[in-house]
Amino acid sequence: MSCSEQLMTALDALDHAFASEGSFLVTGCTYCYGDRDFAELSGPLHLIGDDLVSSVAAKTPDHWEDFPRLYRHLVPRIIRLLVTGRLHIDEELIASRLIHAGWATWDLPLAEALQDVWSAWWQSTLHTHPSPVPVRDSLSVITVATNSLRPWLNVWTATNTPAADAHLADLVDDVMFEFEITDLRLGFYDEYDATAELLGWLLTDVRDRVIDTCLDAPFLYERLQAAAQRSS
């Protein structure tokens, strides 16, 4: 089974795990949403339009009477649109909203199904270039959602394929612009300080896979030491 097929399997499993999260009466901000929107959100999950799902996915929690329940109910739709690049909002927002919804504390089958999607999505991303969602955005979503970066970098190190290397080149081009890597935070709200882990990884684990000589700048090693001391 290919990585993209494994991702689709994980998404189908997510649908199945969340099937018990039935519809309920949704209420919220009447300035942003009308009766027709609330009726649609209160109806069958598969009948909610993609545009409405994307809108709800982005709104701040205070727009809803019961934000955690609504977000949990919509997760299968939100995540499928997210990983296939069809959400049309800033992908990093989703990690922040999931944290606010308390996804890590949900019933184990729900949390595990979402964790499986993170793993499958990351593998699929590293094996597909270009990917539906840029690699930096995918990495940011997964890192912030799970509050961990190194495990995902380790997977990237172990994935020595042309697609993974192409993504690596893209990431280096991105984070080396104006040396953003020296103070790099991931997440829509800059929740995760990634400087020490990501810079250390680029300078050691995958240095031989990166052509960009900017990584040889001496001050980067000084910045790495400073970042490591700050995070210790």
Interacting residues of 160 by C-beta distance below 8 A, sequence separation 6+: 209
Residue 139 and residue 186 in contact, taking contact as beta carbons nearer than 8 Å: yes
Short-list 108, 125, 181, 119, CA closest to 146: 119
pLDDT for res 229:
74
pLDDT for res 232:
65
CA distance 83 to 74: 14
CA distance 141 to 137: 6
pLDDT for res 143:
98
Residue type, 80: R
CA distance 90 to 86: 11
pLDDT for res 226:
78
Counting as low any pLDDT under 70, the low residues of the chain are 231-232
Give the global pTM. Answer: 0.94
Alpha helix (H) residue ranges in the chain: 3-17, 35-41, 50-58, 67-83, 92-100, 108-126, 135-146, 150-158, 162-175, 195-203, 218-231
Residue 93 and residue 55 in contact, taking contact as beta carbons nearer than 8 Å: no
pLDDT for res 133:
97
pLDDT for res 219:
84
Short-list 56, 49, 58, CA closest to 26: 56
Interacting residues of 35 by C-beta distance below 8 A, sequence separation 6+: none
